[in-house]
Amino acid sequence: MSQPDIACVKDYLLSLQDRICRELEILDGVKFVEDQWDREAGGGGRTRVLANGQIIEKGGVNFSHVFGDKLPASATAHRPELAGRNFQAMGVSLVIHPRNPFVPTSHANVRFFIAEKDGEAPVWWFGGGFDLTPYYGFDEDCIHWHKTAKAACDPFGTDIYPKFKTWCDEYFYLRHRGEPRGVGGLFFDDLNEPDFETSFALMSAIGDAYLEAYVPIVKKRHHLPYSDVERDFQLHRRGRYVEFNLVYDRGTLFGLQSGGRTESILMSLPPEVRWSYDWKPAHDTAEANLYERYLVPRNWAEETEND
């Protein structure tokens, strides 16, 4: 197995953050504000936040590179062989919360992890993916999102997309609610086969595909008129997003347990959200349609707009 090139991964991630921020700034017309930070235990990062934009109500695109001599409990719970190793973790993580309820929220993350110990081979892997959280469903958006995801994976094997798609459906699921967070996309972790070069190339292809998957949807939907009804439903569904990130998200748990920068870790939370007691959508409404047609696993990449 080829040896990991940490510097090459870092260069790619920094470039990815730059490219995504540049494209989103062109789309919105408002610039990200950058906050560079250092982590006392080792490492640091660049947090970039766009707030109160014309299209993006709140968005963050973060790069972090942290290291230390002891892994947090969230990293060793399922990998006890990592105990006692020093580590480096780096990645780009982003969440875009749009202003218009007809534009879905999107999330993407690509990351690299390596744990080393004198006299032993390093343990390393890539992880990440991207997923879409609509408030009002459009078949063509879901089809485009998943076909773009599939196209990024297919050069590495026709089994990759179905595997990562299923993994995403299972991961972004609120077990206490019994419902998915959105319409999924890709999720993968522990990727280190067949070698470093191939794993790095697959992670990069997925990172590069995010803008191609998301920007056309934003352009198509952000001008649609909406009322307080749609806005209220958006705020209600954002509550589910918050619940997932604080209860289940591995990146959030790792960041908080490893002494990461809290402001950057919780950047993913929306600026406004609402919890209504025992709320249920009215029958035969667009809100009910989201639950019935979109918050269920579907093979969107195999569908056409006329299905």
Q: What is the pLDDT of residues 242-282, one digit of tens each?
A: 999 899 887 787 778 777 788 878 878 899 999 989 989 99
3 state SS of 178: coil
Task: Compute the Cα dihedral for 57, 20, 191, 121 and give only its sign.
Answer: negative
pLDDT of residue 192: 95
Rounded CA-CA distance 98/228 in Å is: 15
* 146 in a known ligand binding site: yes
Residue 65 appears among annotated catalytic residues: no
Give the span between the Cα atoms of 64 and 80, in whole angstroms. Answer: 24
Residue segments in the chain with a per-residue pLDDT below the cut of 70: 1, 72-78, 306-307
**Number of independent structural domains in the chain:** 1
Identify the CA nearest to 77 among candidates 253, 215, 241, 267.
Answer: 253
The confidence score (pLDDT) of residue 251 equals 77
Identify whether the C-beta of residue 57 lies closer than 8 Å to the C-beta of residue 49.
Answer: no
Question: What are the start-end ranges of the H helices in the chain?
Answer: 6-28, 73-76, 139-153, 160-171, 196-221, 228-247, 250-257, 262-265, 286-289
Enumerate the β-bridge partners of residue 115.
87, 123
Distance (Å, whole) CA 60 – CA 269: 10
Whether residue 168 lies inside any domain: the answer is yes
Tell me what pLDDT residue 42 has.
Answer: 86
Tell me, yes or no, if the pTM score tops 0.95. Answer: no
In this structure, what is the dihedral angle of CA atoms 158, 162, 168, 170, given to the nearest 10 degrees?
-150
40 assigned to some structural domain: yes
Check 65, 78, 107, 222 and give the catalytic one: 107
The response to whether 109 counts as a known ligand-binding position is yes
In a domain, 84, yes or no: yes
Q: What is the pLDDT of residue 76?
A: 57
Tell me whether residue 1 is in a domain: no
**Any domain includes 307:** no
| Structural domain contains residue 78 | yes
What are the CA-CA distances from residue 28 to residues 23, 160, 197 (Å)?
9, 33, 35
Confirm whether 155 is domain-assigned.
Answer: yes
Q: Which two tokens stand for residue 267?
A: 């950047």
Is position 299 annotated in a ligand binding site?
no
Q: Is 100 annotated as a binding residue?
A: no
Q: What CATH number is associated with residue 244? A: 3.40.1500.10
Q: What is the pLDDT of residue 81?
A: 74
Closest by Cα among 127, 212, 210, 119 to 164: 127
- Any binding-site annotation on 111? yes
**Range of the structural domain that residue 36 is part of:** 6-302
Paired with 110 in beta bridges are 92, 128
Whether the CB-CB separation of 107 and 97 falls below 8 Å is answered with no
204 is in an annotated binding site: no
Asked whether residue 282 is domain-assigned, the answer is: yes
199 is in an annotated binding site: no
